[in-house]
Structure formats: C-alpha cells, structure tokens
Structure 1
Amino acid sequence: MVEWAAGLVASGGLAGVFLLMVAENLFPPMPSEVIMPLAGFAAARGQMPILGVLLAGTAGSVVGNAVWFEAARAFGAARMRRIADRFGRHAGLGPEIIAQAEAALHRNGPAAVFLARMMPGIRTGISIPAGLVELPRVVFYTWTTLGTGLWTSGLALAGYMLEEHFELVEAWAGPIGLAVMLVVFAVLGWKLWRLQRKP
C-alpha cells in the first residue's frame, strides 16, 4: 500500500509534490503528514531527488499560504475594523479586541507565523489573521518559509530515512505537531494569567 501511494505521488514528479502541497493549504485533499513522507519514501526508492522534494514541498506550502494571506490582506484591516465596529459587539468582538489582536500579532508575528507552521489545524489558519492585520510581507514570507521548510523537510527526510518503517512517520508527526501546539498554548495561557493578576 505504501509503495503504491508513494508511486502515485512520484508519478506526478516534483510538480506533483508542489501542487499537492499548494492544494493541502487551500482545500486539503490529504495532509502534509502524508504527502511529504510519501515523497521522501519515493526519493529513497530513487524515483525523485530528495533535494527537489524538499524544495517543491516547501514552495508549494508557501504558495498555498500566500493565497490566504494576500486575500485577507486585500480585504484589509480597515474594513475588518468597520465590520467589528458595526456588528462585532453583538458577538463580543468589539474594535478594542480587534486592536488588541492586531497589536499582539504585530508584536509576536514572527514567532506566531513560524510556530503555527508546525501545528495541526492552525498551519494555514494563521495566514488569514496575519493578512487582516497587514503583517509586513517580508515578515510573513520569511517566517512562513522558515517554519514550512523545517516542517516539510522534516517529514520528507523522515520518509526518506525510515523507508522500511514508513508507518512510524505518521505515528510520530501528529504528536509532535500537537506537542508544539500545547507548548504555545501553555505559554499564552501563562501570559494571560500574569496580565490578569496585575493590579
């Protein structure tokens, strides 16, 4: 089954890996935890160059995230503020909360974007608020590329090196992403607790 799936990924070549990773960030047909280890497995079988797999996977993920970021940026922070001012109070989302969220993302933007790339469920989601608050493009794309490159390369190299024990990749990828997410939420919770205790 693994060899068949890896062959299917490899049949599209590096362009196929790139397009699958773009799609994974737009309307996920399958998660990166499956795509990249399969591509790494195919590279270990000599069906694709491993360096090409790493570059194609990273580039595809960055392009997929760019779509959401640029769409949210085009919508704009000013329009978002007007909507929050008009309707947000009914949902507890007034302009003050929007302003606080903007400030937090501007202040912690690089870390938030970088770490989110390794978190299940948040990986693509972070691109939308980053675009809405108009996070500088150089910040977004630099840290997206670094975080995405680390995650996708780690998955592909795991598939490449564990070749005969492929099932271990999927077993470990989820818990690692979950662990990163729990650490980030623990730090955020601690910061909020400290803020509430201040007189």
Structure 2
Amino acid sequence: MDQWIKTILEEFGAIGVGALMLLENVFPPIPSELVMPWAGYSVSQGKSSFLAIVSAGSAGSFAGAWAWFWFARRIGKERLANWVDAHGAWLTITRDDIERVDHWFNDWGAAAVLLCRMIPGLRTLISVPAGFANMPPEKFSVYTGIGTVAWTALLAAVGLWLGKNYGDLARPLSWVSTAVIACLFSIWVYRLVQQRRTGSPHKVR
C-alpha cells in the first residue's frame, strides 16, 4: 500500500493528499498514519508545499468526518445497529461497539469530537455518535476542524522532519507502512477469530 500511496502523491500532489484522506475516513484501512507522513516527506524533497498538503489533507479528512456525521443523523442509531447485526461480522463491528462509543460520547460531549479526531481508530467512529445525538452542525464542524488540522499537521511535520534530518527515507517509511498495515490486519483477524469462538455477536437483542 505504501507504494500506491507514494505514487498517488507523486502524480497528484496536494489533490492526491486530500483524496486519500477522504478515503481514509470512509475506508479506514487506508490510515492517515501512512498518508500524511509520506506527504510531509514529499515536502522535504521539494515536491510539495507544507501548507498545501496540510490544507488538502485536513479538507479531505473533514469531508469524510462530515459524511459519517450526516449519515448517522439520517439513518439513526437503531437502524445502524440492526444493519451491523446482519452485516457487521466481516467488519468485526458489533452492536456493543456502537453502544460503547455512544456512551463514551454522552459522557464527554463535544470534547470527545475534538480529542478523538486525534486518536487512531476513533477518528472516524466519533462522527457517528455525534450524529446520533443531533449535535449542532456548527459545533461539530468547529471541534472536528480543530482536531483534524492538528492531527494532519502533526503527521505531516513528522514526515517533513524525518526527511530533512535523515535524507532519503523512502525505504524506512516503507517498512513503517508495512508494519502499520500488518498490525491493522492482525487486529482484524484477531477480532474475527474471537467472534467465531464466542459465537455470532450480531444476534438482535
């Protein structure tokens, strides 16, 4: 995947960054932890502007977060939980996962949106309970925007700093990319195996 990301960034620049960050929110197996450091690295090589990649990455990520927020407001919690009961097994998502995130949001409110935009694995999910709770769109936009810009800028800065201080990091970044993907895949397999051992968790309660 790292070569695919690198190719898109080389061919499309900031537009590619925005598109990948949008996909990262819609399709989480494309992690921002790979996209933005690669984008920062491209800045260190004189191929992009730091402001351009952070702006594009933040815009794409923000659009993806808003898509989930709108979707949750439209479909509602119970309809989504019923869909997960029927189709969530291969995604290793259960009704209990939805309930946990929802309760966590109820405890922390708007602060949860801000903080979770900077936490891998929760960045996309937090838009869903915010939508369920009918959080005011303006408030959601402000907190999501702040958290999104902070996260994308941090990851891009890491790639930029590493590139400037250690020269050609294409191979090390490739190793990191492979490790991240392997870790995500291992977690998915583990959850899938656990579900099979304990029986289907998707039975409607």
Report the TM-score when normalising by structure 1: 0.66
- For residue 106 of structure 1, report the CA deviation from its aligned partner: 5.8
Q: Does 1:110 align with 2:142?
A: no
Q: Distance in 2 between matches of 1:54 and 1:75?
A: 31
The equivalent residue for 2:55 is: 55
State the aligned residue count: 155
User: In structure 2, what is the equivalent of residue 155 of structure 1?
Assistant: 155
Aligned to 1:144: 144
The structure with the largest helix share of the pair is 1
Please name the residue that 1:31 is paired with: 31
**Residue type of the partner of 1:123?**
R
Query: Aligned AA for 2:74?
Result: A
Kindly indicate whether structure 1 or structure 2 has the higher relative contact order, using CA contacts under 8 Å at least 6 residues apart.
Answer: 2
Any stretches of 5+ residues in structure 2 without a counterpart? 83-93, 181-205
Aligned ranges for residues 50-199 of structure 1 at < 5 Å?
50-76=50-76, 80=78, 105=105, 108-163=108-163, 164=167, 166=169, 167=172
Which secondary structure does the structure 2 equivalent of 1:46 belong to? Answer: coil
Q: CA deviation at 1:157?
A: 1.0
| Residue 165 (structure 1) shift | 7.5
Is 1:7–1:42's contact at 8 Å kept on the other side of the alignment? no
The worse-fitting range, judged by mean Cα deviation, of 25-34 and 56-65 is 25-34
- Deviations for 1:89-127, whole angstroms, at most 9, x for unmatched residues? xx999xxxx8xx57x746632210011112121110011
Say if 1:115 and 1:72 are closer, same or farther in 2 by CA, change over 3 A: same
CA deviation after TM superposition for structure 1 residue 76, in Å: 3.9
- Judged with a 3 Å threshold, the aligned counterparts in structure 2 of structure 1 residues 43 and 7 are, in CA distance, closer, same or farther, namely farther
C-alpha separation in 2, matches of 1:92 and 1:69: 18
TM-score, length basis structure 2: 0.64
8 Å contact kept, 1:117–1:147 = yes
Q: What does residue 189 of structure 1 align with?
A: none
Q: Distance in 1 between matches of 2:136 and 2:19?
A: 26
Percentage identity across paired residues of the two chains:
39
Distance 1:26 1:70 in 2: 13
| Residues 16 and 5 of structure 1, relative CA distance in 2, 3 Å threshold | closer
Structure 1 CA distance for aligned equivalents of residues 133 and 157 of structure 2: 35
Give the structure with higher Rg (CA): 1
C-alpha distance in 2, partners of 1:121/1:29?
A: 10
**Long gaps (5+) in structure 1:** 85-90, 175-199
Task: Work out the CA distance in 2 between the residues paired with 1:69 and 1:27.
Answer: 15
Offset of residue 44 of structure 1: 1.2
CA distance in 2, matches of 1:107, 1:32: 27
| 1:15-71, Cα deviation, whole Å (9 max, x unpaired) | 111000000000135210100000011111111111000100111100011111001
- Please say if residues 18 and 59 of structure 1, whose CA atoms lie closer than 8 Å, have aligned partners that are also in contact: yes
